[in-house]
Amino acid sequence: MAVTVSNIANMVLFLAKVYASYESKSLAVIASTLDSLLNLLSEFIMWFTAYAMKKPNQYRYLIGKKRMQLVGIIVFASVMASLGLQILLESDRQLISKIAPYTIN
């Protein structure tokens, strides 16, 4: 029950942050929204891997599915790294576009 309540609270928080991101267009709020999205994604990945590990199929997976959780963590880490890199690149782009070059008269 606690996991379900946590998932619902995270979904409500994510939707509120999506609205705040749309209204403010602030990179800090957008980064926080992406963090909430990653929380939801990590919960889904952990749920899916736990579900997959509970349903063994000896004919298809001879050694079992004990490493499914590791695969889920690797997938989540790669998504998290790519989103973090995208936020850094966008913030650098906005900073560079707002800095006017010095002109010598």
Q: What is the pLDDT of residues 33-72, one digit of tens each?
A: 888 888 888 888 778 777 777 776 666 665 666 677 777 7
Radius of gyration of the chain (CA): 20
Please tell me what DSSP assigns to residue 102.
P
pLDDT at 59: 66
> Which pLDDT belongs to residue 16?
92
The reported pTM is 0.61
User: Which letter does DSSP use for residue 61 in this model?
Assistant: -
- Domain that includes residue 93, residue range: 2-98
Locus of tokens 């004990």 = 66
Asked if residue 28 is part of any domain, the answer here is: yes
Q: Tokens 């006017």, residue? A: 100
Select the more confidently predicted residue: 68 or 82: 82
Contact 13, 34 (CB under 8 A): no
Domains identified in the chain, total number: 1
User: What pLDDT does 101 receive?
Assistant: 56
Return the higher-pLDDT residue of 18 and 59: 18
